Structure 1
Amino acid sequence: MSFLRQSRRRAMLFALALPFAFGACGYNSIQSFDEQAAQAKQNIDAQLQRRADLIPNLVNTVKGFAAQEERVLTEVTQARAGLVGALQKSGGSDPVELANANQQLTGALGRLTVAIEAYPELKSNENFLRLQDELTGTENRIAVSRTDYNTAVRQYNEYIRKFPQVLTAKATGATARAYFEVTDSAARSAPTVDFEKK
């Protein structure tokens, strides 16, 4: 009888200690950090999608003023399609691919801005100014979201590499997350601006 009572008592103590054991090995923290990084990634996706949604309106506004800038407009449209494709591919799960696509779009928009300088009437157009302000605001939000995401990823990646959390991470299949940064050397290079007419 006392053996049975001791067994129950041990089982109860084990059941009470189990949550503390999981807490000590970092399981709950790994899940929290992973969720923070996932949420930060969703914020980037939302801002990139907003940026991609603004581009067609900007292109159409510029087309009305600058028909001869078709090559630059085509580059912007193609870069936007690349960003939208990266967002839709696997739910935009690859931050490196998104960063490269976003950088391609940034370069194309830079070339468009240079082309627009030749059209003072466009620069004073109310629709164009509003779109340009919205794009600038969105780019700022993308920068903030990228910083938040990379901070969350750093915290998560550091945490799962520390002992004893590394044991829990291996047991649960938790792996390091990729940072949101450009890796494509072509995407890193600044656009070349040539004011000479060909």
Structure 2
Amino acid sequence: MKKWLIPLIILAVVAFGLYQWGVGFNNTAIKLKETSTKTWANVESAYQRRNDLIDNLVKTVQGAADFERGTLTDVIEARAKATSVSIDPTNITPEQLAKFNEVQGGLSGALKSLLVTVERYPDLKANQNFLELQSQLEGTENRINVARDRFNATVEPYNNHIKTFPNSLLSGLFNFEELSYFKSEAGAEQAPDVNFDFK
């Protein structure tokens, strides 16, 4: 074998190894990011389910109870704000998540106020449609929580993949950026103050 072929063979092997590493990194990162994107879509789907249920809940309460319109108006306005904020799942930033969380938290607070106010109406509390909607909302809140947890579970392997060395060298080259985790809104660790004194 000619001596000048040995360096060429070594260069070819090294180049092929680097190519395989780059392809493997890129394909794995894309799959992990797509999993996170799909899981975020499930989070949004759970929120959309809640928004759809709110219309029915408001109509049921309007038809069965004659109490201050302010509570219903707050729910309707909070729902409108919540549906106006959307996130690009391929480029989730902490700021986007904070804004999304803020408006969804406002909607949750308005719903809690509505359900507390409803306590004054025994006929409404016994209404089968209302009870079914209340149960559906409770189930939806659980779905939302599960969907957010699953989203966070898919963000972790993606972030680990692009941030660990030597993959971190390729992250910038292929424009892969770290995804943000879904975090609870500020003050969520505090137990809610529910007051049933309607005097």
- Structure 1 gap ranges (5+): none
Tell whether the 8 Å contact from 1:103 to 1:182 is kept in structure 2 after alignment.
Answer: no
Bigger shift: 61-70 or 92-101?
92-101
Indicate the structure with greater helix content: 1
Tell whether the 8 Å contact from 1:95 to 1:180 is kept in structure 2 after alignment.
Answer: yes
- Alpha-carbon displacement from aligned partner over 1:57-84 (angstroms, at most 9, x marks no partner): 1011101222213111111111111111
Which residue in the other structure is 1:77 paired with? 76
Q: Distance in 1 between matches of 2:128 and 2:198?
A: 29
Tell whether the 8 Å contact from 1:107 to 1:190 is kept in structure 2 after alignment.
Answer: no
Equivalenced residues, count: 193
**Counterpart mapping for 1:89-168 below 5 A:** 94-168=96-170
Aligned partner of residue 181 in structure 2, secondary structure: coil
Bigger shift: 109-118 or 66-75?
66-75
- Give the CA RMSD over aligned residues: 3.0
Q: How far apart are 1:44 and its partner, in Å?
A: 0.4
Which residue in the other structure is 1:34 paired with? 33
Q: Distance in 1 between matches of 2:6 and 2:164?
A: 37
Aligned partner of residue 176 in structure 2, secondary structure: coil
Q: Distance in 1 between matches of 2:161 and 2:9?
A: 35
Q: Distance in 1 between matches of 2:55 and 2:39?
A: 26
TM-score by length of 2: 0.81
Which residue in the other structure is 2:21 paired with? 21
- Alpha-carbon displacement from aligned partner over 1:8-62 (angstroms, at most 9, x marks no partner): 97897577545522256x2222212211111110000111111111101101110
Tell whether the 8 Å contact from 1:96 to 1:179 is kept in structure 2 after alignment.
Answer: no
Q: How far apart are 1:97 and its partner, in Å?
A: 2.2
- Structure 2 gap ranges (5+): none
